[in-house]
Amino acid sequence: MWLCKKVIFEHDPKWEDFLKDVYPVPAKLNIPDWYKSLKHTPEYKTIKGCIPFLDSLTAGYILKIPQDLYINHNVINKETNKMDSFFKPALDYDYSVLSNKFNINLNGSDRADIHSPSQLGSECPYHKKNKDLPFYKILNPFVIKTPPGYSTLFVLSLNYIDVKFDII
């Protein structure tokens, strides 16, 4: 017998209109078109016949963010003339005002939330890969609740090739 364990994504109801288009959805609703179009038969085998690969495409939920972000990594900061990273909302609107006033977790127009390189320690492989620059947090506006005994694992979508950054 299967027990249905439900993951709950909570937010303040006053944000319903703002968040309705970015509500987390099961990954199984985001299977890529290239995979869907594959033909698999006993005579012509493709990766579509590999159940573990399908499992990797359908596991978990896709978390979207309610704002476009500009991410510039490994660029010269004109003020300091040193290598730096920048991370800010694409729209010219101060989301931090919304975050503070209405208690919603959004990236603001000022410097984004970060983990400094020192928080990972000098021996961490991400430290070197990130060229000693800060690790930016993409803030999630939802409170995620799992059943007792379950935990949440944040990873990039599995088996998607368009990877521009890592999640730590």
Query: Is residue 56 domain-resident?
Result: no
What is the DSSP pairing of strand 8-10 with strand 143-145? Answer: antiparallel
95 assigned to some structural domain: yes
Question: Domain of 118?
Answer: 69-142
58 inside domain = no
19-22 long-range contacts (CB < 8 A, ≥24 apart) are 19/66, 19/141, 19/142, 21/64, 21/66, 22/64, 22/65, 22/66, 22/141
3-state secondary structure of 151: coil
Query: Smallest Cα–Cα separation from 28: which of 8, 55, 46?
Result: 55
Number of H helices, E strands in the chain: 5, 8
pLDDT tens for the chain, 168 residues long, are 345 578 899 888 888 887 888 889 999 998 989 999 999 999 999 999 999 999 999 999 988 877 777 777 777 778 888 777 766 666 665 555 555 555 666 666 555 677 788 888 888 888 777 777 778 777 788 889 998 888 888 887 777 776 666 777
Residue 99 lies in a domain: yes
What is the tally of structural domains in the chain?
1
Angstrom distance (rounded) from CA 166 to CA 13: 31
**Which residues, 6+ apart, have CB-to-CB distance to 79 below 8 Å?**
none
134 inside domain:
yes
- Domain annotation covers residue 29: no
Give the per-residue pLDDT at 110. 55
63 φ/ψ angles, rounded to the nearest 5 degrees: -95, 125
| 48 within a domain of the structure (yes/no) | no
Spell out the long-range contacts of 82-88 with Cβ–Cβ below 8 A and sequence spacing 24 or more.
83/131, 83/133, 84/133, 85/133, 85/134, 85/136, 87/111, 87/112, 87/136, 88/112
CB 135 within 8 A of CB 115: yes
Three-state secondary-structure class, residue 10: strand
**Residue 1 confidence (pLDDT):** 39
- What is the Cα 33 distance to its own chain's centre? 21
Q: What is the pLDDT of residue 38?
A: 94
